[in-house]
Amino acid sequence: MARYMVMLFLVLDFGSLHAQDNPIIKINKFERTDSAIIINGVARVVPPNTKMWVTVQRINGKSIEERHTIKTVGHVLTGSDGSFTAKLKRYGSLNRFDFPTGKYQLEFYAGFSRAWQTVEVAKKAGVRLDEQGRSDLGEPRSLPKSSDLIAQNFGGEKVRFLRAIRTITIQASNASTVAYKTKSIKLEIHDYKASKNPVRTINATELLFREVSGKVGRLKTTEAVALICVGDFENGFGCPASTILTARRQLS
């Protein structure tokens, strides 16, 4: 009898753990481009048009510094079948970034209150709304238990948020791709009226977009800026025209 009770307990406990796992986020495929990491996947059980964001938390086990944040541009919306596409970029980069090879820890995050979701999505998730369509803290009562739904305590009330951690591995680029990547980017400031040192050069290969103004400083009316790409590339591949135009707008 004692053995039977132990076995029964183990079966029930295993079933509880299995039900609690019930993952929501599944990554189907991903790719790295010259400026982004593009992830395609499916979000189960959450309503269509659920908003979420995706952030890189660590690369090869090392936390990302705030100035190098890699995250989605705007919200990611789930489709009618739960599918989604997330485009992650390094914040402030000049439209190009050589993502290092290795393991990337991603965080998929979403709340279910009206601060996050539309009335329709909040209702389908089981969030309680008042007559004006305002919600409480956003407990998704219609969603099942899942290891991807993490409970947080606010003023004694537990509210579940979507917080799914997934890992992808970025492989090294093949030789044909590497051959056409720009090796360096430089900013040249030309002063056509200066008698000495009419050109000053700033290395911008790893320069963040928001750092450009601080590095260049205030431009004189006699100065002009040129963005120079150095390396083996064809038709501007690896140094797109949008990069040059964006840099000029930033400095003007």
Whether the per-residue pLDDT at 5 is higher than 70: the answer is no
What is the pLDDT, as a whole number, of residue 220? 75
CA distance 102 to 104: 7
**Cα distance from N-terminal residue to C-terminal residue, the chain:** 83
For the ranges 43-47, 82-86, 225-229, 237-241, which has the lowest average pLDDT?
237-241
For the ranges 52-56, 60-64, 66-70, 212-216, which has the lowest average pLDDT?
212-216
> How many other C-beta atoms lie within 10 A of the C-beta of residue 196?
5
Are the C-beta atoms of residues 48 and 78 closer than 8 Å to each other? Answer: yes
pLDDT in tens, 155-202: 778 899 999 999 999 987 654 444 445 566 777 777 777 777 677 777
CA distance 143 to 45: 7
List 192's β-bridge partners, or say none.
none
Q: How large is the average pLDDT for residues 208-223?
A: 69
Whether the per-residue pLDDT at 43 is higher than 90: the answer is yes
CA distance 38 to 84: 10
CA distance 232 to 179: 7
Which whole-number Å values give the CA distances from 155 to 93, 122, 137, in the listed order?
A: 39, 21, 10
Are the C-beta atoms of residues 11 and 158 closer than 8 Å to each other? Answer: no
Tell me the average pLDDT of the chain.
Answer: 78
What is the pLDDT, as a whole number, of residue 15? 42
56's tokens: 């890189």
Tell if the pTM clears 0.75, that is, is over it: no
Q: Where are the domains of the chain?
A: 2-170, 175-251
For the ranges 2-6, 21-25, 231-235, which has the lowest average pLDDT?
2-6
